[in-house]
Structure 1
Amino acid sequence: MVMKRPKLGVFLFVAFLLAYLLFLKYHYSTSKASNFRPPPHAESKLARAGDDRPVSADGLDFQYGVMFDAGSTGTRVHIFKLQMKSKEPPTVDHETFKAIKPGLSAYADDPEKCAAGIQELLDVAKSSVPPSMWAKTPLVLKATAGLRLLPGEKAKQLLEKVRQIFHESPFLSRDDSVSIMDGTDEGISAWITVNVLIGGLSRADITTVGMLDLGGGSTQITFSPRDEKTIQMSPIDFIRSFQMFDRTHTVYTHSYLGLGLMSARLTILGGSVDPPGGSTELVSPCLPPQYSGRWEHADVVFTVKGQKAGEPVFETCLTRVQKVLYGKIKRVSEVVSMDFYAFSFYYDRAVNLGIIDEKMGGAIRVSDYTDAARRVCSGPSAEPQQNPFLCLDLVYISVLLQEFGFPPHQQLRLARTINQVETSWALGATFNYMETLRGS
């Protein structure tokens, strides 16, 4: 019997298979675990995981900061417990907040009397910060429009009294710990606060938002321009660049001193903080007809009255407010295409109208303020003694927003807190002060 010879292709296949099996055996027998390296994308994740550990200059996981907000209507203390991170903005682990009235400027003629209130708020800070951290916790007071509007010497004496109290406290206090805050810095600090809280300064997938703040003595607008024309066409002092969290930020920002709600209210009523001839009686079309009452502002008690019944309250008040604001606000076209958060009296008046929940906040259109103003001013005066200025305030807010360039349909977000943290300038100012400590 004659055997058939296998075909050449079969021999080649078997030879190749044996060679491949021998190669695999040799390769895995000589490989060692110590030579293993994860793929590049896995290595980057491992490296970033180490960066997320909270660290600080002295190895502590947390840092505390105490910020006093000396506003025109009251003084507030914010105690922040911050989790520090090496390559990211700190996160707020907890905030303690307390407010007292009146504002620091109420003691302009007797600075010694401000001590009790400052000490009361300091006691809150001492009970919120562990004693072992007191000496490492910066203690800062920033005064806003209330003191900016005071004569220089009176403001200086008030600040010196606070500085003395701070130096006697167990916290970290320097000569620059007590100061009057520039209005522009106030706007920038509030912008930092809201964008840190929403993640706009730490996450590439979140766009920063603009900030509107309406205080008692001043009002601010701050946003990060996306249109180069905004930078080119704005006054040079409206554009600011600053370093924060190892990055450079450029913002459009301006503070309008004297256009806060309380200061504007006085101007609209036709009064002044130093009434000529001592006259303190004010009659205004922006008040309910036949209304008569008392209103205190900047330590002056005014008698305020509405005009006779039958006058078109909304239209007359609108004309008055437009005259007060004429030519005072720089309009910016870019705001139409941006998201904005609005704080302080923007928030409070929306609560008064029942448009948002007092605790949860919400959203409001510019036209909502205008429609409410028309309704409140022109409708029957329900309980005018409780809120006689609501008509005036709403007309002012609606005109102010339009002067900034916001169209009637634009929606604003209203928030008193984000992630249980107050949406004021205090957090941003605390971060900024810590940056100066790090650089000194």
Structure 2
Amino acid sequence: MSSGVDVRRRPGIWSYFSFNSGPRRRTSVSLPRVNTNNSDDDPFEKPDRHRRTNSAGFMTDYKGGVMNQGQRMRYLKTGGIIAFVLLILYFVAPHDAIARVPSPGGGGKGQTAAEGAETSKCERSYSKEKPLIQYALMIDAGSTGSRIHVYKFNNCGPTPELESEVFEMTAKKEGGSGLSSYKADAEGAAQSLDVLMEVAVKNVPPAYQGCTPVAVKATAGLRKLGEAMSDAILKAVRNRLETKFPFPVVAEEKGGVQVMDGKDEGVYAWITANYLLGKIGGPDKSPTAAVLDLGGGSTQIVFEPTFKDSPHGGMPEKLAPGDHKYELDFGGRHFELYQHSYLGYGLMEARNNLHVAVLNSVYEQNKASESKAWLEKPIVNPCIAPRMSKEVQVMLPQGHILGASVSVNMTGPAEGSPALCRSFAEKTLEKDAECKLAPCAFRGVHQPSFEKTFAREDVYLFSYFYDRTQPLGMPESFSLDELKDLTNRVCHGEGAWDVFESVPDAMTELRDRPEWCLDLNFQLALLHTGYEMPINREVKIAKKIKGNELGWCLGASLPLLSQESGWKCKVREVQ
């Protein structure tokens, strides 16, 4: 029921703002003209009744005043509400909108460096729980020689930063200078590391030596000696390090002095490269690089394949379980890596494998004869450069009809034949071996497709990959097709080597090493045929990143910075 009173709702605050995207449309309406002077129609109308006047009446003035006062009140209330909201925001919002990053040194609460180990990066460690400076020693007891890496780290930030590295290796000698070259002479093998440990004593300040762990990791060479000989050498090495030098040796149960598993060797190399590249250990989740390492006795491949649930796409399946799968937690991230170590496919072993393949081929042509006179003649080997030759001691597989080994003269053909050499290299890869879990690389070993699961990320080649390409002038990055061109030129002999005259020492290298053609063909076969990389795939070679040596050693040394890795200080830790 109507009360007879016109009650009007007061406009809300949002009625003062327009949300239209354009100007309000104007509407014009034409009305019929009305004659306001009706005196002619009504003779009784007063003459001044419809006359216009310039003065407003009392009610008009009153209404206008009331309306103006109401508008002023609404504006005042609106302004008050806005001021109130701004006041609340002032007290609630942070006064400094810039996120502050803790300064190095943990706000001045961390530890300082002892004399002789100062760093220019910061004055105190990020955390008071960690020393500002730490050292770690890693000895790589490889098949061709032993090497020591003396690492210096600072803890200016939450993640240890590699500040410097000192690298030294044992002198080369005939037959190699690695631990395995001493065979039954275990004490002689242990003493061969003295020259390396003296480098550590010289470069680690005395105040830090008692808390600088040392570990020794032997690789493919010692694996081939057999368990009895290798165990005797490892025990002699541990005893000498513990009794002759001031550094704590990592405990036996933590693998302080051991023959390293091939899969660990590859994964540690992967950690080294990606740590130095800044792809792991930092706040960013960057795509990681693949690492392919070619040693003397074995070769390793490690990469992080991408599948359907990966942002980079790939095959619609996950990495199958098996020995090839390596799960790693590092720097706050979880990685599922593919890895495999091929024992017997390092470059020195590959040379012997190719010589055996050539020798077997020649034997098949001469086996009808009971005489072995053909072994005394030069054997034409397409993997030797034209008009070059080399006396080779070929180690034969167990039970071979020619015995345990033969010494022959391998001579290059009259004209180079790189394709024929590569054919022998591919035979050694055993691509026809049974593949129980497809897809496979070679020797029946499962490997996710490089082309489908690792199509765009960086591929780094280390060790002999670098040593056989960089001296001939290859850039830091090149395609497999360009590697093939280099191989073809090298295999055609000195008549095609004029292009190398502008590369320092390249001609000397080529003339002193008849097996350059073999080495390059094996690398090409391994990458393209073995691992099935596309011929146009770009790869990178490196010996150092940011001035630091590549390989597995740094990756294996990073865990040693924690005493939970199996060592205790020999003296009171420096504060």
* Class of the TM-score when normalised by the shorter of the 2 chains: 0.7 to 0.9
What is the root-mean-square deviation of aligned Cα atoms in Å?
Answer: 3.8
Structure 1 residue 106 displacement after superposition: 1.4
Give the one of 268, 273, 279 matched to 1:194.
273
Show the counterpart of 2:263. Answer: 184
Structure 1 window deviating more from structure 2 (165-174 vs 284-293): it is 284-293
Residue by residue over 1:308-327, the C-alpha shift from the partner in whole angstroms, topping out at 9 and shown as x without a partner, is 64366424322221111123
Residue by residue over 1:328-367, the C-alpha shift from the partner in whole angstroms, topping out at 9 and shown as x without a partner, is 44454234503211101111111132113xxxxx112112
Show the counterpart of 1:378. Answer: 492
Structure 1 residue 83 displacement after superposition: 2.7
Show the counterpart of 1:117. Answer: 192
Cα distance in 1 for partners of 2:316, 2:408 equals: 42
- From the CA coordinates, give the structure whose radius of gyration is larger: 2
Show the counterpart of 1:107. Answer: 182
Do the aligned partners of residues 315 and 24 (structure 1) sit closer, same or farther apart at CA in structure 2, a change above 3 Å counting? closer
Residue pairs, 1:25-174, within 5 angstroms: 38=94, 42=98, 45-46=99-100, 48-49=101-102, 53=106, 54-55=125-126, 58-84=129-155, 89-101=159-171, 102-168=177-243, 169-173=245-249, 174=251
Give the one of 296, 301, 308 matched to 1:221.
301
The SS at the match of 1:216 is: coil
Show the counterpart of 2:545. Answer: 418
Structure 1 residue 80 displacement after superposition: 1.5
Residue by residue over 1:62-104, the C-alpha shift from the partner in whole angstroms, topping out at 9 and shown as x without a partner, is 3221111111112111111223377x54221211211223222
Show the counterpart of 2:290. Answer: 210
Show the counterpart of 1:306. Answer: 410
Do the aligned partners of residues 307 and 295 (structure 1) sit closer, same or farther apart at CA in structure 2, a change above 3 Å counting? closer
Contact 2:105 2:127 in 1 (8 A): no
TM-score, with normalisation over the residues of structure 2? 0.64
Matched, 1:249 2:335: yes
Cα distance in 2 for partners of 1:230, 1:326 equals: 28
Q: Which residue identity lines up with residue 316 of structure 1 in the other structure?
A: L
Structure 1 window deviating more from structure 2 (316-325 vs 114-123): it is 114-123
Cα distance in 2 for partners of 1:323, 1:166 equals: 44
Structure 1 residue 38 displacement after superposition: 2.2
Structure 1 residue 13 displacement after superposition: 5.9
Structure 1 residue 178 displacement after superposition: 0.7
Cα distance in 2 for partners of 1:308, 1:252 equals: 39
Contact 2:319 2:325 in 1 (8 A): no
Contact 1:223 1:253 in 2 (8 A): yes
Contact 2:384 2:412 in 1 (8 A): no
Residue by residue over 1:370-402, the C-alpha shift from the partner in whole angstroms, topping out at 9 and shown as x without a partner, is 222222222347776501110100110010001
Cα distance in 2 for partners of 1:23, 1:312 equals: 91
Cα distance in 2 for partners of 1:230, 1:432 equals: 35
Q: Which residue identity lines up with residue 371 of structure 1 in the other structure?
A: D
Do the aligned partners of residues 377 and 13 (structure 1) sit closer, same or farther apart at CA in structure 2, a change above 3 Å counting? same
Q: Which residue identity lines up with residue 110 of structure 1 in the other structure?
A: D
Give the one of 473, 476, 480 matched to 1:354.
473
Contact 1:71 1:146 in 2 (8 A): yes
Contact 1:139 1:171 in 2 (8 A): yes
Contact 1:55 1:62 in 2 (8 A): no
Residue by residue over 1:152-190, the C-alpha shift from the partner in whole angstroms, topping out at 9 and shown as x without a partner, is 111112111211122122112122311111110011001
Show the counterpart of 1:274. Answer: none
Q: Which residue identity lines up with residue 314 of structure 1 in the other structure?
A: P
Cα distance in 2 for partners of 1:225, 1:316 equals: 33
The SS at the match of 2:474 is: coil
Q: Which residue identity lines up with residue 191 of structure 1 in the other structure?
A: W
Q: Which residue identity lines up with residue 38 of structure 1 in the other structure?
A: P
Residue by residue over 1:95-140, the C-alpha shift from the partner in whole angstroms, topping out at 9 and shown as x without a partner, is 1211223222112232222344312211211222222222222211
TM-score, with normalisation over the residues of structure 1? 0.82
Cα distance in 2 for partners of 1:413, 1:221 equals: 14
Q: Which residue identity lines up with residue 377 of structure 1 in the other structure?
A: C
- How many residues align? The count is 422
Cα distance in 1 for partners of 2:518, 2:387 equals: 15
Show the counterpart of 2:15. Answer: none
Q: Which residue identity lines up with residue 91 of structure 1 in the other structure?
A: E
Structure 1 window deviating more from structure 2 (377-386 vs 205-214): it is 377-386
Structure 1 window deviating more from structure 2 (204-213 vs 282-291): it is 282-291
Show the counterpart of 1:359. Answer: none
Cα distance in 1 for partners of 2:85, 2:307 equals: 59
Gaps of 5+ in 2: 1-56, 107-124, 172-176, 309-314, 358-371, 396-403, 432-441, 498-507, 568-575
Give the one of 341, 349, 353 matched to 1:263.
349
Matched, 1:240 2:326: yes
Cα distance in 1 for partners of 2:230, 2:316 equals: 36
Show the counterpart of 1:287. Answer: 384
Q: Which residue identity lines up with residue 321 of structure 1 in the other structure?
A: A
Matched, 1:7 2:65: yes
Give the one of 378, 391, 399 matched to 2:517.
391
Q: Larger % of helix: which?
A: 1
The SS at the match of 2:306 is: coil
The SS at the match of 1:136 is: coil
Cα distance in 2 for partners of 1:240, 1:227 equals: 16
The SS at the match of 2:169 is: strand
Contact 2:305 2:448 in 1 (8 A): no
The SS at the match of 1:396 is: helix
Show the counterpart of 2:426. Answer: 322
Give the % identical residues: 30
Do the aligned partners of residues 243 and 436 (structure 1) sit closer, same or farther apart at CA in structure 2, a change above 3 Å counting? farther
Gaps of 5+ in 1: 272-276, 357-361
Show the counterpart of 2:366. Answer: none
Cα distance in 1 for partners of 2:205, 2:345 equals: 40
Residue by residue over 1:247-284, the C-alpha shift from the partner in whole angstroms, topping out at 9 and shown as x without a partner, is 3221000000000000111121129xxxxx9x999944
Q: Which residue identity lines up with residue 291 of structure 2 in the other structure?
A: M
Show the counterpart of 2:564. Answer: 437
Show the counterpart of 2:436. Answer: none
Cα distance in 2 for partners of 1:429, 1:69 equals: 10
Do the aligned partners of residues 395 and 136 (structure 1) sit closer, same or farther apart at CA in structure 2, a change above 3 Å counting? same
